[in-house]
Amino acid sequence: MKYAKNVKANRQSTVTPKRTVVPLKGMRGITTIGAAEKKIEAQFALPKGSVRLIYRTGRKARSDSTVGLLVKHWTDRR
């Protein structure tokens, strides 16, 4: 039983990162998610693969999807 208590304590101590919105110039609705991720990495000098765009539900956005569709998912009021 001691093990189960430790597992529960570990789950509660998990920290979720804050989601920040950063305006990027030159991002259009037709730009792909993959290109947007690469542009963000280049603009902020981040390592390759460190940026991942997600939908409001927490699901990862496909790299061949568009930024316009991503914005639509985030502005949907559900």
| Span 14-35, pLDDT tens digits | 566 666 666 666 677 778 999 9
Per-residue pLDDT tens digits for 65-74: 998 888 888 8
Residue 34: its pLDDT value, please?
93
Residue 50: its pLDDT value, please?
93
Q: Using CA atoms, how far apart are residues 21 and 66, in angstroms rounded to an integer?
A: 17
At 53, is the pLDDT very low, low, confident or very high (cuts 50, 70, 90)? very high
* pLDDT at position 7 over 80: no
